[in-house]
């Protein structure tokens, strides 16, 4: 059976976690020392798919590939297959690639297929992990694929949603699905839509991989910009947490599974991304949100704050945006601020945990740097940097190899 990279289910301290965070390799087999990183292009060049390896306190590039097109971003690993999207900035469509992971840090392209424009996130779903859903930000839609044979990607359906009609400027002049998320039961796909201020909900047939549109959650103030989120379950309770990029908010919801195969979201938490109501620096933009494996700790990244400092390997101190961590009360879902730690530089568009939560990898898009930090799974706190490396281009995604 396939294991869905992108969704993990674990038992810990009497509650069950369902997180959209990448499922990554643990320390026992050395995979926590290898990262897959995608970069956006800078200047005339093209972006790359990179393989980085920890070598002492350095992250060294041991593999470089152009098999994800010129604007690669989100990665989803499934065994020895890596799914990668090409955002294809300015193009009329994007691309999904399936790549064979080779032992010598190279990749062999197995198949490719066009998507709606600007794909930014993927998630595996369905029985035996035979389906893959894509959120298409720039194109305002979603795609679903049958990936039973990774060498022959088969499009199931593409949908483009109508643009909002209230006349707001870009990016809210269009639907903008920003992440594909699978719920803990595997029965629903949800898509935070930054442009339309909605959580779009699809009821999945896990056997046929088809889906039925269900009512969206729309009770957002216009201008919230829902971007990324994650589910958390405890006993018979299900919670959902979300960051809004445009309003820089962190919101928490109780989730109800209804008899008509729909979901109801009831908001119980609404704060800024630091968990309070203090003003954030102008230009701040919330980015990523994950719940650490086998834990009740939620971490998010906030870009362009420059509110902290980080000392790079050469001893220079540079401005840093934060990775902000909260604990989740398993009974109520309530959030408590635990820590605001340096992300290692500016614009942490993406970060990820390894499989046992002892490391965090941060992709600093504006600084051209990837940093790996130690982390205490018991407290949720991020510690010192254990390795870092500068990369060519703008790193936008960093995930530990399974």
Question: Residue 176's closest CA among 114, 124, 244, 113?
Answer: 244
- Residue 341 CA to residue 322 CA, distance in Å, equals 5
Q: Strands, DSSP E only, in 14-167?
A: 15-19, 34-40, 49-55, 58-65, 72-78, 81-86, 94-101, 107-115, 119-125, 131-136, 141-146, 154-160
CB 350 within 8 A of CB 360: no
* Count of Cβ atoms closer than 10 Å to residue 44 Cβ: 5
Q: How far are the Cα atoms of 78, 120, 326 from residue 338, in angstroms, in the given order? A: 32, 29, 5
Token code pair at residue 318: 């540079």
CB 106 within 8 A of CB 123: no
The better pLDDT of the pair 44, 68 is held by: 68
Confidence of residue 43 (pLDDT cuts 50, 70, 90): confident
Alpha carbon of residue 92 to chain centroid? 24
User: How much is the pLDDT for 15?
Assistant: 33
CB 345 within 8 A of CB 280: no
When pLDDT is averaged across residues 245-256 and rounded to a whole number, the result is 98
CB 157 within 8 A of CB 143: yes
Cβ neighbours of residue 369 closer than 8 Å, sequence gap 6 or more: 312, 344, 345, 388, 389, 390, 391, 395
Determine the 3-state secondary structure of 33 from DSSP: helix
Q: For the segment 262-281, what is each residue's pLDDT rounded down to a tens digit?
A: 999 999 999 999 999 999 99
Q: Answer left, alpha or beta for residue 199, where phi above 0 means left and psi between -120 and 50 means alpha.
A: beta
Given a cut of 50, whether residue 196 has pLDDT beyond it is yes
User: How much is the pLDDT for 32?
Assistant: 74
- Rounded to two decimals, the pTM is 0.93
Confidence of residue 30 (pLDDT cuts 50, 70, 90): low
Contacts for 304-308: CB closer than 8 Å, 24+ residues apart? 304/346, 304/347, 305/280, 305/281, 306/281, 306/346, 307/281, 307/340, 308/340, 308/341, 308/342, 308/343
Question: Residue 50's closest CA among 67, 37, 69, 35?
Answer: 37
Set out the domains of the chain in order of their start, with CATH numbers: 8-400 (2.130.10.10)
Given a cut of 60, whether residue 21 has pLDDT beyond it is no
When pLDDT is averaged across residues 381-392 and rounded to a whole number, the result is 97
When pLDDT is averaged across residues 80-101 and rounded to a whole number, the result is 97
Given a cut of 50, whether residue 11 has pLDDT beyond it is no
Alpha carbon of residue 341 to chain centroid? 19
User: How much is the pLDDT for 141?
Assistant: 98
Q: For the segment 99-144, what is each residue's pLDDT rounded down to a tens digit?
A: 999 999 999 999 999 999 999 999 999 999 999 999 999 999 999 9
Confidence of residue 3 (pLDDT cuts 50, 70, 90): very low
Question: Residue 245's closest CA among 277, 275, 272?
Answer: 272
Question: Residue 121's closest CA among 397, 335, 332?
Answer: 397
- Residue 281 CA to residue 346 CA, distance in Å, equals 13
When pLDDT is averaged across residues 95-99 and rounded to a whole number, the result is 98
Given a cut of 80, whether residue 18 has pLDDT beyond it is no
When pLDDT is averaged across residues 318-341 and rounded to a whole number, the result is 98
- Residue 395 CA to residue 161 CA, distance in Å, equals 29
Confidence of residue 44 (pLDDT cuts 50, 70, 90): confident
Cβ neighbours of residue 135 closer than 8 Å, sequence gap 6 or more: 119, 120, 121, 122, 142, 177, 178, 179, 180, 191
Q: For the segment 207-238, what is each residue's pLDDT rounded down to a tens digit?
A: 999 999 999 999 999 999 999 999 999 999 99
Given a cut of 70, whether residue 180 has pLDDT beyond it is yes
Q: How far are the Cα atoms of 95, 170, 268, 373 from residue 399, in angstroms, in the given order? A: 20, 30, 31, 13
Give the mean pLDDT of the chain.
Answer: 93
């Amino acid at each position: 059976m396939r294991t869905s990279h992108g969704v993990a289910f674990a038992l810990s301290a009497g509650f069950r976690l369902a997180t959209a965070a990448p499922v990554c390799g643990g320390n026992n087999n050395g995979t926590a020392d290898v990262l897959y990183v995608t970069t956006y292009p800078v200047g005339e060049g093209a972006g790359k798919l990179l393989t980085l390896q920890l070598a002492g306190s350095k992250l060294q590039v041991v593999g470089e590939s152009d098999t994800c097109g010129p604007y690669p971003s989100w990665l989803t690993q499934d065994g020895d297959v890596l799914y990668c999207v090409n955002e294809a900035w300015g193009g009329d469509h994007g691309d999904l690639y399936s790549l064979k992971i080779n032992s010598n840090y190279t990749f062999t392209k197995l198949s490719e297929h066009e998507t709606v424009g600007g794909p930014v996130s993927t998630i595996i779903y369905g029985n035996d992990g035979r389906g893959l859903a894509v959120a298409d930000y720039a194109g305002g839609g979603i795609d679903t694929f049958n990936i039973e044979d990774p060498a022959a990607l088969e499009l199931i359906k593409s949908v483009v949603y109508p643009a909002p009609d209230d006349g707001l400027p870009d990016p809210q002049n269009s639907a903008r699905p920003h992440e594909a998320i699978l719920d803990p039961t595997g029965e629903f796909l949800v898509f935070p839509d930054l442009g339309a201020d909605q959580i779009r909900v699809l009821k999945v047939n896990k056997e046929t991989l088809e889906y039925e549109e269900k009512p969206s959650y729309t009770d957002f103030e216009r201008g919230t910009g829902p971007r990324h989120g994650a589910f958390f379950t405890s006993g018979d309770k299900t919670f959902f947490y979300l960051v809004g990029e445009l309003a820089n908010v962190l919101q928490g919801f109780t989730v109800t599974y209804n008899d008509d195969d729909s979901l109801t979201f009831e908001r119980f938490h609404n704060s800024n991304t630091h968990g309070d109501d203090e003003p954030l620096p102008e230009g701040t933009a919330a980015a990523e949100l994950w719940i650490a494996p086998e834990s009740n700790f939620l971490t998010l990244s906030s870009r362009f704050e420059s509110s902290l400092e980080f000392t790079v390997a050469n001893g220079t101190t540079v401005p840093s945006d934060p990775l902000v961590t909260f604990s989740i009360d398993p009974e109520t879902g309530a959030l408590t601020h635990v820590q605001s730690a340096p992300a290692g530089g500016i614009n942490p568009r993406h970060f990820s945990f390894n499989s046992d939560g002892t490391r965090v990898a941060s992709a600093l898009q504006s600084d051209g740097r990837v940093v790996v930090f130690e982390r205490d799974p018991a407290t949720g706190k991020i510690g010192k940097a254990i390795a870092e490396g500068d990369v060519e281009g703008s790193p936008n995604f960093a995930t530990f190899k399974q």
